[in-house]
C-alpha cells in the first residue's frame, strides 16, 4: 500500500476484514507515523520508500492511494517491475501524462494496471447497467446523473471539481452505456468565485445525451443518483437506507455523510475482485486506457468551463491491447 491517508487506511482495513485472497504486507507513506498507524493493526511492514515497496520480493501487487500528482510515476514503476497495480483515480494529472502510462503498459505487452473507478463494482450501478443490457428500458436516449457532497474537501477549485469529482461520472457513463463520450460542455450558475455546482452536458457516439450535476457544497449530505431514460421506460438509482423513522412530523431516511460509507460495498467488491484476479495474473477492471480517456474527457470539460462552448473530446489512437 503506497499512501496511508484516509483512502489508503480504509483500503487496508477493508482488505484485512473482507478480502481473503490478499494480505497487506508493506505500507509506505510520506509521513512515517501515518504509515505506522495504518500498518500496525494488520501486522504489515513499514517501508522507507515507494520504490523499495514496489521492488520488494514479498510484494506481489501494489495499491496506490498517494496524492494524485504521484500516480503516473508510481504506476510506471510498478509496470517496470512487472507487478499488478491498482491505482486510485485519477490515473494522472493530465491526459498526456496518462497516455504516457498507456504507452508504458503497451510496451510491456500485457495489462497490469487497474484504475480505481470503484463505481463499476457498486451493486446499485451494476444493477442499473443490467436494466440497459437486458432491454428493460429500451434504447437509451438520455441519462441524468447527480453527484453531491455535503462540503468540498479535495475538489476546491473550478477544474478540480471536474478532475476530482465529476471524473467519476466521466468514467461511469461510457461504462454504463457501453459507449464513448465525444463532446462535453460544462457550465455553472455561479459566475464569480468557486464555480460550484457545475452542470455538464455530455454527448456519446451512440447518440445519447447526458446531464451531470456535480455540487460539492450541497450541505445536506452525500448523494449520488442516476436516471437512465430509454424508449421503453426509465431506471433510477437512488440508494436509500433500509430503516426510516417517523418522528416530529417527518417521515424520513438518513442521507449518508460521505462517499466512503456510501460506496463501502463497492470498495470491498473492487478490492476483492482485483486481488483475486491479481493472484491469477490478470485484470479485467477499468484499464489504463479507461483512465486516460477519463482524463481526456475531464480536460475537455475544464476547457469548456472556461470557453463556455461545447468541446470535442480528442483521443489518441487506442492500442490493440485495449481493443
Least distance CB 123 / its own copies (angstroms): 7
C-alpha span between 203 and 186 (Å, rounded): 12
Cell of 235: 431506471
Identify whether 183 is preceded by a cis peptide bond (ω within 30 of 0).
no
Residue 254 binds its own copies (CB under 8 A): yes
Residue 9 binds its own copies (CB under 8 A): no
Instruction: Give the burial class of 21: count Cβ atoms within 10 A of its Cβ; 0-12 exposed, 13-18 middle, 19 or more buried.
Output: middle
Q: Which of 57, 58, 82, 240 binds its own copies (CB under 8 A)?
A: 240
Cβ atoms of residues 150 and 218 within 8 Å: yes
Terminal CA-CA length for the chain: 30
Least distance CB 68 / its own copies (angstroms): 27
Residue 179 binds its own copies (CB under 8 A): no
Residue 208 binds its own copies (CB under 8 A): yes
Residue at grid coordinates 455538464? 200
DSSP letter string, 154-187 = S--SHHHIIIIIIHHHHHHHHHHHT--EEEEEEE
Q: Which of 107, 109, 193, 231 binds its own copies (CB under 8 A)?
A: 231
Residue 209 binds its own copies (CB under 8 A): yes
Q: Which of 241, 281, 282, 316 binds its own copies (CB under 8 A)?
A: 241
Residue at grid coordinates 454504463? 176
Q: C-alpha angle 245/241/146, rounded to 5°?
A: 120
C-alpha span between 53 and 62 (Å, rounded): 8
Q: Which stretch binds its own copies (CB under 8 A): 33-41, 98-106, 234-242, 313-321?
A: 234-242
Residue 261 binds its own copies (CB under 8 A): no
Give the nearer residue to its own copies in terms of CB position, either 37 or 209: 209
Residue 25 binds its own copies (CB under 8 A): no
Residues that bind its own copies (CB under 8 A): 15-20, 23, 123-124, 127-128, 131, 136-138, 141-142, 144, 146, 187-191, 197, 199, 201, 203, 207-209, 211, 213, 215, 217-221, 223, 229, 231-255, 257, 268, 272
Amino acid at each position: 500500500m503506497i499512501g496511508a491517508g484516509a483512502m489508503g487506511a480504509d483500503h487496508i482495513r477493508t482488505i484485512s476484514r473482507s478480502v481473503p485472497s490478499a494480505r497487506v504486507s508493506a505500507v509506505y507513506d510520506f509521513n512515517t507515523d501515518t504509515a505506522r498507524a495504518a500498518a500496525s493493526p494488520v501486522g504489515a511492514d513499514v517501508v522507507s520508500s515507494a520504490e523499495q515497496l514496489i521492488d520488494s520480493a514479498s510484494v506481489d501487487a501494489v495499491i496506490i492511494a498517494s496524492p494524485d500528482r504521484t500516480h503516473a510515476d508510481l504506476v510506471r514503476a510498478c509496470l517496470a517491475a512487472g507487478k499488478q497495480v491498482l491505482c486510485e483515480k485519477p490515473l494522472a494529472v493530465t491526459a498526456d501524462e496518462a497516455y504516457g502510462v498507456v504507452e508504458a503498459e503497451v510496451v510491456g505487452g500485457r495489462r497490469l494496471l487497474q484504475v480505481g473507478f470503484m463505481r463499476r463494482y457498486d451493486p446499485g450501478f451494476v444493477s442499473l447497467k443490467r436494466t440497459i443490457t437486458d432491454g428493460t428500458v429500451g434504447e437509451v436516449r438520455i441519462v441524468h446523473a447527480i453527484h453531491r457532497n455535503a462540503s468540498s474537501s479535495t475538489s476546491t477549485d473550478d477544474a478540480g471539481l471536474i478532475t476530482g469529482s465529476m471524473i467519476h461520472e466521466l468514467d461511469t457513463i461510457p461504462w454504463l452505456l457501453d459507449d464513448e463520450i465525444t463532446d462535453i460542455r460544462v457550465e455553472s450558475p455561479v459566475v464569480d468565485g468557486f464555480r460550484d455546482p457545475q452542470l455538464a452536458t455530455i454527448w456519446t457516439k451512440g447518440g445519447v445525451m447526458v446531464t451531470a450535476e456535480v455540487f460539492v457544497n450541497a450541505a445536506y449530505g452525500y448523494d449520488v443518483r442516476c436516471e437512465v431514460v430509454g424508449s421503453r421506460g426509465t431506471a433510477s438509482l437512488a440508494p436509500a437506507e433500509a430503516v426510516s423513522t417517523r418522528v416530529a412530523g417527518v417521515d424520513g431516511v438518513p442521507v449518508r455523510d460521505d462517499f466512503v460509507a456510501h460506496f463501502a460495498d463497492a470498495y470491498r467488491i473492487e478490492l476483492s475482485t482485483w486481488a483475486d484476479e491479481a493472484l491469477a495474473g490478470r485484470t479485467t477492471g477499468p484499464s489504463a486506457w479507461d483512465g486516460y480517456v477519463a482524463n481526456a474527457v475531464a480536460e475537455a470539460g475544464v476547457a469548456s468551463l472556461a470557453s463556455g462552448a461545447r468541446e470535442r473530446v480528442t483521443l489518441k489512437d487506442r492500442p490493440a491491447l485495449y481493443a
